[in-house]
Structure 1
């Protein structure tokens, strides 16, 4: 991704950049002063779709290459597909990424084919891992569950090198039979 240094700061200048299809942002990291930057809107969307907030990549700024990850993107209040600002965190081999990754329920269809209902309470979990680890999701195997059973964070198949920062007793998903609605007879009619 090719970044440009942004010399004009402030809300009015940032709004003018956005009208030109350029998104303002900040590059920061250990042992460096934050740098105000900007990038073409289409380029930022393309990189974000590929990397999200969980994978490192290289950027070019003023002839120098930096390894970064997207720490945060801010979106337009009305049109959430439009980015209004972004933060890039410069990293080294010793750094860790703190982010949220989705929890994917594996074998959910098998459970539901038995007439059971699967309810997923945690859609994602907060994790920490070395920058060059590319964890994009964590799988939760549902195949051993039964009516009334549940999976907790402690039951997740966490890839090597990844630390889950959630409460290990937090319920990820549970399984039960659907509740049937039974009308209650009117007492007056029963007599």
Structure 2
């Protein structure tokens, strides 16, 4: 797992006006830290430092060493509020973690052997990814940076579902406990003709929505 650290400062000047001043005058991002049997704490982080960390995919699902005025806490990034029109983070939410207590986190899926799988290389099919990420539950020490999805043996017309994924030790998918209806398809291989028809239907749906 990649180690991340982020510096922050506690703040008492709260409210929308204070947040605007932070972003405008000091190039800071207002944020909050909560959980861990402690009171929520309002903080600010340097926009440049946060944006650099966000460039790394693993940051979204890794334990972060958050140093607040020199006092370090371990947290997870739980939510980001972005500007609707500009590449700017408006607010961030961090959740404290406690050793021995499970956390629920969305981790990215990494698909391997897409071009060389049976359904593509031998049967001329196309890969359709249905889920880019996955919600998992585990102890902080077991938290993976990503879940690997191996397509090597997948043929045209076949799919891999949540229950088919090989998870690291100690990691579970909470939604699977809700029943078979929640065993969603993660990726499937479609024949070229079927894939083309699916793309056409999707295009028509977008035009209708407009």
What is the distance in 2 between the residues matched to 1:12 and 1:91?
Answer: 30
Following superposition, the deviation at residue 4 of structure 1 comes to 0.9
Structure 1 unaligned regions, length at least 5: 182-191
What is the distance in 1 between the residues matched to 2:162 and 2:41?
Answer: 38
What is the distance in 2 between the residues matched to 1:52 and 1:24?
Answer: 18
Q: Show the 5 A alignment for 1:16-165.
A: 16-19=21-24, 20-50=26-56, 51-79=58-86, 81-111=87-117, 112-114=120-122, 115-165=124-174
How many residue pairs match? The answer is 180
8 A Cα contact 2:107 2:145, kept in partner: yes
Structure 2 counterpart of 1:8, from 13, 30, 42: 13
Moved more, 7-16 or 157-166: 157-166
RMSD (Å) for aligned C-alpha atoms: 1.9
8 A Cα contact 1:119 1:173, kept in partner: yes
Instruction: Report the structure number with the largest CA radius of gyration.
Output: 1
Structure 2 unaligned regions, length at least 5: 1-5, 177-181, 197-210
| Per-residue deviation, residues 30-82 of structure 1 (Å, max 9, x unmatched) | 22111111111111123333452311122222342211121212111112x31
For normalisation by structure 2, the TM-score amounts to 0.78
For normalisation by structure 1, the TM-score amounts to 0.85
8 A Cα contact 1:102 1:136, kept in partner: yes
Following superposition, the deviation at residue 17 of structure 1 comes to 0.6
- Structure with bigger helix share is 2
8 A Cα contact 1:74 1:83, kept in partner: yes
Aligned residue for 2:193, secondary structure, equals: coil
Following superposition, the deviation at residue 147 of structure 1 comes to 2.0
What is the distance in 2 between the residues matched to 1:169 and 1:56?
Answer: 28
